């Protein structure tokens, strides 16, 4: 891929402590877990979370034999590694989601929550995910909804310039996008995913409500209204369960990583390096203290 889209890099950030810990986001965390449990098959062989960060949701995947926590930030993955310890089910992989370092048809399940809003090129990302998806699997996607109630009210009062009703994405801050549900569905279908069950999540993401009402009550209310998507998708967050493309490759047993540059399957690491056997490529990638680093090649 030549003209690579920009990637949002959380390297060295304090995202976990600044955004989650002690920041009154227990409601959002628990509501998202309710939605994830409703959509994600409870067990399977291989699962990848795209944009796993510090591993906030890793304990939801304990029914899977192999779990890849994938992120562009090495430092956030190190935080996840420190929290999860030596559990052999987890693999920590740093890389660019426009050049996924995995063989085709590898993952039974894929999860992407709170990260699509950083995607400058959604079709390119979906194409990569369709490639690494095992036929017959499931992809749980969450996206920031452009057509949410707050945005509609603000637009009606002329307090924002962009319309929540037009289909194109809106970049409200650099590399932060909101998406129209209809547009997301179209992009998924063009990538050969089959969108299915949809949940509307986080209707009560309002500071005053979170201060006045117990978190458990808000989560309980949210769990009920999540089923209201058939009335319209107007929540700030939308979850959709997608069936993987029905045709495509299925990964060969024993093949896991692939060179992100040329997609040639990579042999096992040797002396802390993964080396592409393709003589026209030959890139090498670092493996250090359990972290597979595909952000930049060594050679």
Q: What is the pLDDT of residues 240-291, one digit of tens each?
A: 999 999 999 999 999 999 999 999 999 999 999 999 999 999 999 999 999 9
The whole-number average pLDDT for the span 191-200 is: 98
Question: Mean pLDDT over residues 176-204, rounded?
Answer: 98
Average pLDDT taken over every residue of the chain: 97
Q: What is the pLDDT of residues 135-182, one digit of tens each?
A: 999 999 999 999 999 999 999 999 999 999 999 999 999 999 999 999
The per-residue b/e assignment along 235-251, b for 16 or more CB within 10 angstroms, e otherwise, is bbbbbbbbbbbeeeeeb
Please say if the pLDDT value at position 1 is more than 70: no
**Residue 225: CA count within 13 A, CB half-sphere:** 19
Q: Positive or negative CA dihedral for 168, 172, 174, 177?
A: negative
Question: CA 161 to CA 87: how far, in whole Å?
Answer: 48
CA atoms within a 13 Å half-sphere pointing along the CA-CB vector of 187: 23
Of residues 298, 296, 297, the one with CA closest to residue 72: 296
What DSSP state is assigned to residue 173? E
Give the whole-angstrom CA distance, residue 161 versus residue 90.
44
Residues with Cβ < 8 Å from 262, sequence gap 6 or more? 276, 278, 280, 281, 283
Query: What pLDDT is attached to residue 2?
Result: 55
- 201 strand-pairing partners: 237
């Amino acid at each position: 891929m030549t003209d690579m889209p920009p990637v949002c890099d959380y390297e060295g950030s304090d995202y976990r402590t600044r955004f989650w810990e002690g920041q009154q986001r227990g409601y959002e965390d628990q509501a998202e877990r309710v939605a994830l449990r409703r959509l994600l098959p409870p067990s399977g062989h291989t699962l990848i979370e795209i944009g796993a960060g510090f591993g906030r949701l890793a304990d939801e995947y304990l029914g899977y034999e192999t779990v890849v926590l994938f992120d562009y930030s090495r430092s956030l993955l190190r935080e996840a590694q420190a929290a999860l310890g030596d559990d052999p089910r987890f693999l920590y992989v740093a890389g660019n989601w426009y050049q996924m370092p995995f063989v085709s048809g590898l993952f039974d399940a894929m999860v992407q929550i709170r990260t699509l809003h950083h995607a400058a090129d959604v079709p390119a990302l979906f194409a990569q995910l369709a490639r690494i998806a095992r036929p017959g699997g499931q992809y749980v996607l969450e996206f920031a909804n452009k057509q949410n109630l707050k945005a509609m009210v603000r637009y009606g009062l002329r307090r924002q310039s962009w319309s929540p009703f037009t289909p194109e994405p809106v970049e409200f801050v650099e590399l932060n996008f909101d998406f129209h549900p209809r547009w997301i569905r179209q992009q998924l279908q063009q990538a050969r995913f089959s969108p299915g069950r949809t949940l509307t999540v986080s209707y009560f993401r309002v500071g005053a409500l979170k201060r006045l009402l117990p978190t458990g009550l808000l989560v309980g209310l949210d769990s009920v209204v999540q089923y209201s998507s058939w009335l319209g998708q107007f929540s700030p967050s939308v979850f959709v369960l997608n069936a993987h493309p029905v045709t495509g490759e299925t990964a060969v047993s024993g093949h896991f990583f692939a060179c992100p540059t040329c997609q040639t399957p990579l042999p096992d690491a040797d002396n802390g390096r993964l080396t592409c056997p393709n003589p026209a490529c030959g890139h090498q990638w670092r493996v250090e203290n359990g972290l597979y680093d595909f952000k930049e090649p060594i050679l």
